[in-house]
Amino acid sequence: MASVQQLPSRDEMFNQRLPVIIIGMLIISALLILKLISFQQLSADVVNELSPDYNRTVKLASARGLIYDRSGQRLAVNTVEYRIGISPNLVANPQRSATQLSAILNLDELETYKALTSDSQYVLLAPRVDAEQGQQVEKLKEDGLTALQIEKIPRRNYPQGTVAAQILGFVGGDLQGYYGVEGKFQDQLVGRPRTEVVSDIPFDLPPQQEADHGSDIYLTIDRDIQFLIESELAYSIDSTGAKSGTIIVMNPRTGDILGMASSPSYDPNNFQAEKDPNVWKNPAISNEYEPGSVMKVITVASAIENHSITKDWTYNDQGELDMAGIQVKNWDLKAHGVVDTTGVLSQSLNVGAATISLAMGPIDFYKFMSKFGFGHITGVNLASEAAGTMHVPGDPDWSESNLLTNAFGQGVAVTPLQMITAVSAIANDGLMMQPNIVSKIVTNGQENISQPIALSHPISTETAHIVRDMMVAAVQNGLDDTAALPGYTIAGKTGTAEISGPVKYRSDAWIMTFIGFLPADDPQVIVLIKLDEPTSGRWASQVTAPIFKRLADRLVVLMEIPNDETRKALQTQGAVVEDIQH
Helix (H, G, I), strand (E, B) or coil at 448: strand
Burial per residue of 476-501, b for 16 or more beta-carbon CB atoms within 10 angstroms, e otherwise: bebbbbbbbbeebbbbbbbbbbbeee
Q: Nearest CA to 498 among 398, 410, 415?
A: 410
Those residues whose C-beta lies under 8 Å from the C-beta of residue 151, and which sit 6 or more positions away, are 58, 82, 83, 85, 198
User: ω into residue 19 within 30 of 0, thus cis?
Assistant: no
Those residues whose C-beta lies under 8 Å from the C-beta of residue 194, and which sit 6 or more positions away, are 59, 60, 62, 209, 211
How many whole angstroms separate alpha carbon 41 and alpha carbon 37? 6
- From residue 155, alpha-carbon distances to 66, 131, 185, 508 in Å are 12, 11, 17, 46
How many whole angstroms separate alpha carbon 391 and alpha carbon 396? 8
How many whole angstroms separate alpha carbon 85 and alpha carbon 149? 5
How many whole angstroms separate alpha carbon 538 and alpha carbon 533? 10
How many whole angstroms separate alpha carbon 191 and alpha carbon 444? 11
How many whole angstroms separate alpha carbon 183 and alpha carbon 189? 9
How many whole angstroms separate alpha carbon 535 and alpha carbon 522? 35
Beta bridge partner(s), residue 528: 248, 515
Cβ–Cβ under 8 Å, residues 315 and 355 = yes
Q: Nearest CA to 362 among 312, 326, 308?
A: 308
Per this entry, what is the length of the chain? 582
Cβ–Cβ under 8 Å, residues 298 and 367 = no
Burial class (CB in 10 A: 0-12, 13-18, 19+), 401: middle
Q: Maximum distance among all alpha carbons in the chain?
A: 165
Q: Nearest CA to 264 among 252, 255, 276?
A: 276
Beta bridge partner(s), residue 414: 289
Residue 28 pLDDT: 72
Render 395-444 in DSSP notation, one character per residue.
STT--HHHHHHHTTT-S-BB-HHHHHHHHHHHHTTTPEEPPB-EEEEEET
Distance, C-alpha 281 to centroid of its chain: 9
Q: How many CA atoms lie within 13 A of 55 on its CB side?
A: 15
Amino acid at 66: L
Helix (H, G, I), strand (E, B) or coil at 348: coil
Cβ–Cβ under 8 Å, residues 111 and 101 = no
Q: Nearest CA to 126 among 102, 94, 109?
A: 102
- From residue 188, alpha-carbon distances to 66, 108, 341 in Å are 11, 42, 50
Residue 1 pLDDT: 42
**Phi and psi at residue 384, to the nearest 5°:** 70, 40
Give the Cβ contact number of residue 397 at 10 Å: 9
Amino acid at 219: L
Q: How do the pLDDT tens digits run along the chain, 582 residues long?
A: 444 445 455 556 556 666 666 776 777 766 666 655 554 454 444 344 434 455 555 555 568 999 999 999 999 999 888 889 999 998 989 999 999 999 999 999 999 999 999 988 899 999 888 888 989 999 998 888 888 998 888 889 999 999 999 999 999 988 899 999 999 999 999 876 566 655 544 444 444 444 568 999 999 999 999 999 999 999 999 999 999 999 999 999 999 999 999 999 999 999 999 889 999 999 999 999 999 999 999 999 999 999 999 999 999 999 999 999 999 999 999 999 999 999 999 999 999 999 999 999 999 999 999 999 999 999 999 989 999 999 999 999 999 999 999 999 999 999 999 999 999 999 999 999 999 999 999 999 999 999 999 999 999 999 999 999 999 999 999 999 999 999 999 999 999 999 988 888 998 999 999 999 999 999 999 999 999 999 999 999 999 999 999 999 999 999 999 999 998 888 787 755 554 444
How many whole angstroms separate alpha carbon 225 and alpha carbon 496? 26
How many whole angstroms separate alpha carbon 189 and alpha carbon 201? 33
Q: What is the pTM of this model?
A: 0.82
Q: Nearest CA to 265 among 164, 386, 337, 359?
A: 164
Amino acid at 325: G
